[in-house]
Amino acid sequence: MAEQFEVGAQESRALAVESNGLNVISDAERKGRPSQLFWPWFGANVSVLGLSYGAFTLGFGVSFWQAVIAGLIGIVFSFLLCGLVSLAGKRGSAPTMVLSRAAFGVRGNKLPALVSWLLTVGWETVLTILATLATATVFERLGWGGGEITKVVALVVVGTLIVAGGVLGFDLIMRMQTVITIVTAVLTIVYIVLVADQISWTAVSALPGGSTEQLIGALVFLMTGFGLGWVNAAADYSRYLPRSASSPGVVGWTTFGSSLAPVVLLIFGLLLAGSSQDLSAAIAADPIGALAEALPTWFLVPFVIVAVLGLVGGAVLDIYSSGLALLSIGLPAPRYVAAFLDGLVMIAGTVYVVFFGDEFLGEFQGFLITLGVPIAAWCGIMLADIARRRRDYADADLFDPRGRYGDVRWLPVLTMIVATGIGWGLVTNSAAGWLDWQGYLLAPLGLGGKEGAWAFANLGVLVALVASFLVQYFGGRRAVEIQERRTAVTRETVGR
């Protein structure tokens, strides 16, 4: 009887609108174990989009083995960054963009919060676009339509699932991700078995090797496409854990859960794309729908399910975190209203691209690299700040510009701005015409200009990440020491 009551209570919580927003989670609501972080992170990254990254990666002109090396390093390292940022959630029990105020100041943090909002809204829009296009492509092959009406219906269904998850919040998301993980993992394995005979190792092994610059470009692209796209949301899910939870467990389960599926899917995607130039070209226009071409008709409906669920799994986490970022910027509304507004932006962006847009891949790469630079700069600063701290965050001061974290902390703010400016000068996005202004430092620094060997190495992302970390780690040491001494004094005073 007690077990039935508990199950009923859990279902009730999952279908209730989450009341928590930017606030610090109370002791009574902190629950679970680090191992439970596996489910949301695996569910968000088991999408068959990971297969398409095989074609994206080979597009840099690297061989299969070079692409595997780039994938292993780029995916695992970038998700390790997520694991490290998740530590802040356990220590502070608040959303990522609230905890970031300790480094940037309460109002100074509006800059990274804005970048975070743009990145998460952009990602949820990309995933919704892919789900809509994939559904239309498969339905067309089945003879069930495939035109504008099919796209509209697909958009309505996908959009409703994503917005509902974002609005209802944490408990529903955790339940959804568990189901999505199991269903998507099983159907993805079936997909791999069905198309395995399409692989030609002779063609794959014959792919010519690329230069060091091309290898670095592929590696950085994978970093921005995977872990760096999540770092700004990493603490949003670990914040519900008790502060006594194992720190190595938080880092380990986040890294393992998020990188396991992408590594497997990327390697198989490399084998598929390396076996067929036609498939690689088709993926550029419709990254998910193109993967259905090799499937028998009877598996097309399950393929739509696996594709849509995988994309929804990622988009639900994005819309939840984008709502929190919007609140952190200063939107005076409850969390569920912010998530709903983000859903409207997501649907509007999807309508534009699906019904009026052009080729997908160039714009997608441009989006990833352009926002990957400032988010890498923020990540470097945030990681340095976490590494310097030895105490939990002071809850009230995260919301008070007069508190110990201050109003605007100019060192991290200016570091992020300068690192972004340098980073954009070291990346290029020729496939996206609106970004042809980038790469302005490649010629002055002797790197061959916008047409040289380093033009597509995306060095700006790495430079922004490393430089920001070093500046904050050494330059911000004194500020953190003062903050933590003030924390100690306050606690002693309260104790008396």
Which residue is associated with the tokens 């649907």?
Answer: 347
117: three-class secondary structure by DSSP? helix
Question: What DSSP character marks residue 489?
Answer: H
Judged by phi (left if over 0) then psi (alpha if -120 to 50, else beta), residue 31 lies in: beta
Average pLDDT of 83-112?
95
Q: Which domains does the chain have, with CATH numbers?
A: 34-495 (1.10.4160.10)
pLDDT at residue 358, rounded to an integer: 61
Which helix H or strand E contains 434, and what residues bound it?
A: none
CA angle 428, 431, 432 (to 5 degrees): 80
SS3 content of the chain, % helix, strand, coil (to 5): 75, 0, 25
CA distance linking residue 208 with residue 201, whole number of Å: 14
CA angle 137, 141, 144 (to 5 degrees): 90
Q: Which two tokens stand for residue 102?
A: 């300790």
Which residue is associated with the tokens 């949003």?
Answer: 236
Which residue is associated with the tokens 């050494």?
Answer: 474
Dihedral sign, Cα of residue 186, residue 159, residue 379, residue 40: negative
Angle between helices 110-142 and 360-388 in degrees, nearest 10: 140
With beta carbons less than 8 A apart as the criterion, state whether 347 and 222 touch.
no
Q: Which of 338, 321, 345, 312 is nearest to 160 (CA)?
A: 312
Query: Among 87-96, 161-170, 186-195, whose mean pLDDT is lowest?
Result: 161-170
User: pLDDT digit string (tens) for 106-126?
Assistant: 999 999 999 999 998 888 888
- Burial class from Cβ neighbours inside 10 Å (0-12, 13-18, 19+) for residue 27 reads exposed
The band of 169, judged by pLDDT with boundaries at 50, 70 and 90, is low
Greatest Cα pair distance, the chain, in angstroms, is 76
Is the model more confident about 305 or about 461? 461
pLDDT at residue 200, rounded to an integer: 93
Q: Which of 322, 353, 314, 355 is nearest to 339 (CA)?
A: 322
The band of 494, judged by pLDDT with boundaries at 50, 70 and 90, is very low
Which residue is associated with the tokens 């005073």?
Answer: 493
User: pLDDT digit string (tens) for 304-314?
Assistant: 888 887 788 78
Q: Which of 233, 247, 268 is nearest to 390 (CA)?
A: 247
Is the model more confident about 89 or about 169? 89
pTM above 0.75, yes or no: yes
CA distance linking residue 270 with residue 51, whole number of Å: 7
CA distance linking residue 13 with residue 7, whole number of Å: 10
| Alpha helices per DSSP H over 357-476 | 360-388, 410-424, 459-475
Average pLDDT of 55-64?
93
CA distance linking residue 411 with residue 479, whole number of Å: 10
Share of the chain above pLDDT 90, in %: 44
Query: Among 138-142, 226-230, 256-260, 479-483, whose mean pLDDT is lowest?
Result: 138-142
Average pLDDT along the chain: 86
Query: Among 8-17, 119-128, 194-203, whose mean pLDDT is lowest?
Result: 8-17
